[in-house]
Structure 1
């Protein structure tokens, strides 16, 4: 946990504690406040939240199931670390889901129902990129993709995507600069919109495959660079 003098969290009311604590811990991981490999001390969190350790432990178990925390016998919970190969596998699975989701949205005639929301999300991304709010931009980016997956009508796609999204967002949060031109990345989402509006399933799939492929190459490549630097210096770079 952080050694800062000010508490990381504020006390909570005693309703649905474990779920609320899990949500706040997730936000801390995704935003980079809790770093990969960092110990999540139940006693410290319980004190900052103003609760007993039991709901904190239950929340930690929920996040362990979600893949954000890992537990070690007699040591407690730690923020999960991930290597480049594992991250690459996440992107590969994400690609399979989103490529087919894009095709289903076109086939099921769902494009018009979501197109305005997709455009609004892109504009939000562009604005955040101009204000250098990387973490928030990543969050809206994933919301854009989630809307397409949700609109595909395949609930299994959505369930898997939600799990992947937290892991990908948590991983990219530890990289200060993922893309050289985040504004350009945001605007490139318009290529997906154009493909959806074409009414061609194959074109929609191809646009999504290209888009996620670029992200996969960039983010995983950055992780591989970090791993190489760590191997040379013997210490983490992020």
Structure 2
């Protein structure tokens, strides 16, 4: 008999989501130390759920654990940005192509675009943009491919948070999202995949032009 994995305790989940929200909205800056005792006091919990939350965040690439520096918010530089976006460029257009070949519903993607247009702040817009991209690759028919893209979602969001703080380019990206969806709704799998590739590539090149994307 197979046993399901134990769920993350509620206190750990609460701390995890709170720290992640702080990182992805810019409330916690790249390179900022994350001290267990301070976080435990802030959230009114013991150090144990904080420690477990930080371990999980290290696994998703949002924080870095060092023997000498302790735990810090991951720093975003050109090398890190291009590394994350390389994975997206390799996998995401193919996942979209497969989703369209399977005639998957595009309604979740359409709903995510509406949410992005109606977003009250940068954090809501970023979340809606993540939902849009996920709605395109999730129904690709290959759970492993979808999981691999899920694993870089948080790091991609961190890159965009840092990039938007320097160059607010969400209006251009919103237009590119609409064009990707238009091609997808028209059944043009190759055109939509090409537009998605160009969208991902242009963002990272615009935000981190000094990066070597060899």
Partner of 2:129: 141
Deviation per CA, 1:188-238, whole angstroms, max 9, x where unpaired? 2121112212323322221211222222222223xx49xxxxxxxxxxxxx
**Counterpart pick for 1:28 among 11, 22, 33:** 22
TM-score, normalized by length of structure 1?
Answer: 0.77
User: Could you tell me whether the CA contact under 8 Å between 1:192 and 1:204 is conserved in 2?
Assistant: yes
User: Could you tell me whether the CA contact under 8 Å between 2:183 and 2:191 is conserved in 1?
Assistant: yes
Partner of 1:104: 98
How far 1:159 moved relative to its partner? 1.7
User: C-alpha separation between the residues in 2 aligned to 1:185 and 1:70?
Assistant: 29
How far 1:160 moved relative to its partner? 2.1
Partner of 1:127: 118
SS at match of 1:71: strand
**Structure 1 range deviating more: 70-79 or 94-103:** 70-79
How far 1:74 moved relative to its partner? 4.9
SS at match of 1:70: strand
1:82 aligns with 2:76: yes
Partner of 1:117: 108
SS at match of 2:208: helix
User: C-alpha separation between the residues in 1 aligned to 2:115 and 2:167?
Assistant: 18
User: C-alpha separation between the residues in 1 aligned to 2:108 and 2:57?
Assistant: 30
User: C-alpha separation between the residues in 2 aligned to 1:36 and 1:78?
Assistant: 8
How far 1:99 moved relative to its partner? 0.5
Partner of 1:206: 194
User: C-alpha separation between the residues in 2 aligned to 1:104 and 1:196?
Assistant: 11
How far 1:58 moved relative to its partner? 1.2
Please provide the CA RMSD for this pair. Answer: 2.0
1:188-199 equivalent positions in 2, closer than 5 A: 188-199=176-187
User: Could you tell me whether the CA contact under 8 Å between 1:32 and 1:173 is conserved in 2?
Assistant: yes
Number of residue pairs the alignment of both structures matches? 202
User: C-alpha separation between the residues in 1 aligned to 2:45 and 2:144?
Assistant: 35
TM-score, normalized by length of structure 2?
Answer: 0.85
1:53 aligns with 2:47: yes
How far 1:177 moved relative to its partner? 4.4
Would the alpha carbon gap of residues 142 and 39 (structure 1) be closer, same or farther in structure 2, given more than 3 Å must change?
same
In structure 2, list runs of 5 or more residues that go unmatched: 1-8
In structure 1, list runs of 5 or more residues that go unmatched: 1-14, 226-238
Partner of 1:151: 139
How far 1:137 moved relative to its partner? 1.4
